[in-house]
Amino acid sequence: MLAPLYIAEVSPARIRGRLVALNQMAIVSGILLSYLTNWLLSFAGPVGWRWMFAAAVVPSMAFFIGMLFVPESPRWLTERGQDAAALAVLSRINGRGQALVELGQIKEAIAEESGSLSELLQPGFRRALAIAVALAILQQITGINTVLFYGSVIFREQVGGHSQSSALGLNVVIGLINFLATIVALWVIDRLGRKPLLMFSAGAMACGQFALGAAFLIHPPPTMLILGVMVCCVAAFAVGLGPGVWVVLSEIFPTRIRGRAMSIATISLWVACTALTLTFLSLVKAISATGAFWIYSAMCVTTFLIVWLATPETKGRTLEEIEKLWRHRGR
């Protein structure tokens, strides 16, 4: 929750989307590395799974050490009256001249805010919260993690004819596409904007999930067809909904309540992720893989409509300008 929030608060508006999307880039890089590590350790025999867990110590320690060198958010510092420290952080990012302008905007925005959680229930911000929670939930229940979490299970149990190692190897292919498509997102998110990318991603995923469900009507399902459609779904997600939702969540709330508001949205996202993870295999058993993926396709269509009809474009706007947009809509 804190990573995209922090990045948004220290980033210049012109490249904020790209920098917040770097958080998603780090996530998919970790997924790819974990797939590769698990595949290699799958050849270690019955004790391989122990080493899969133990390997997580390395990135955890690297993260801990890296955080020792990270400055505090300038908006957090300003809220607590530490203007000099906030100006120093902003100057490191954008130069002293621009830092003075941004510090003034931050102080102006803070002066207009109550800082209480009840502010989220005001008309404009209430709409922002509703959009954020909806996008957070829909990002997960479009079904992407059924592919990322259960890809090897799908190949082993639904497609058939694959050993544990070969199924994990196919997962590496999915992780690689996820990684490459996220690079594309980094390049286009501040050029095309958040809304077009989210709409494209949701629409492409709707088609992909429907096609994946149809592919499972073939008996036995062809491995390359299933893999190809999965790859298309992952690529569509990674270029839009993956980084785009986190970018929007980190941008649309007022400074003083951004942490609390984003906590609500993030909790909603992970509750949806948990529900999806716990129900997927049962859903497949109850209505078949085809039925499950067609439900996820319908969720993608819902996401497309919410982005199209309700989500504002935030490309190129400062966080303070976005906040004023909600205040204006709430009048």
Query: What is the span of the domain harbouring residue 239?
Result: 2-70+112-329
b/e sequence 239-268, b meaning 16+ C-beta within 10 Å? bbbbbbbbbbbbbbbbbbbbbebbebbbeb
**CB within 8 A of 77, min separation 6: which ones?**
83, 85, 86, 89
Confidence band of 158 (pLDDT split at 50, 70, 90): low
Residue 295: pLDDT band (50, 70, 90) is: very high
Using one digit for the tens of pLDDT, what is the confidence trace for 227-263?
888 889 999 998 999 888 988 888 887 766 777 788 8
Name every residue whose Cβ is closer than 8 Å to that of residue 1 and which is 6 or more positions away in sequence. Answer: 262, 263, 266
Residue 82 placed within a domain: no
Residue 255 lies in a domain: yes
Q: Do the domain assignments include residue 23?
A: yes
Task: Say if 21 falls within a structural domain.
Answer: yes
Q: Residue 223 domain-assigned?
A: yes
Task: Identify whether 83 is part of a domain.
Answer: no
Confidence band of 52 (pLDDT split at 50, 70, 90): confident
Please tell me whether the overall predicted TM-score, pTM, comes out greater than 0.85 for this model.
no
186: CATH: 1.20.1250.20
Domain count, the chain: 1
186-233 pLDDT tens trace: 888 888 888 999 999 999 999 999 999 998 898 888 878 888 888 899
Whole-number percent of the chain with pLDDT over 90: 24
What is the residue-averaged pLDDT of the chain? 83
Q: Is residue 105 part of a domain?
A: no
| Per-residue pLDDT reduced to its tens digit, 18-47 | 787 788 788 888 888 888 888 888 787 788
- pLDDT, average across residues 267-289: 91
- Does residue 99 lie within any of the structural domains? no
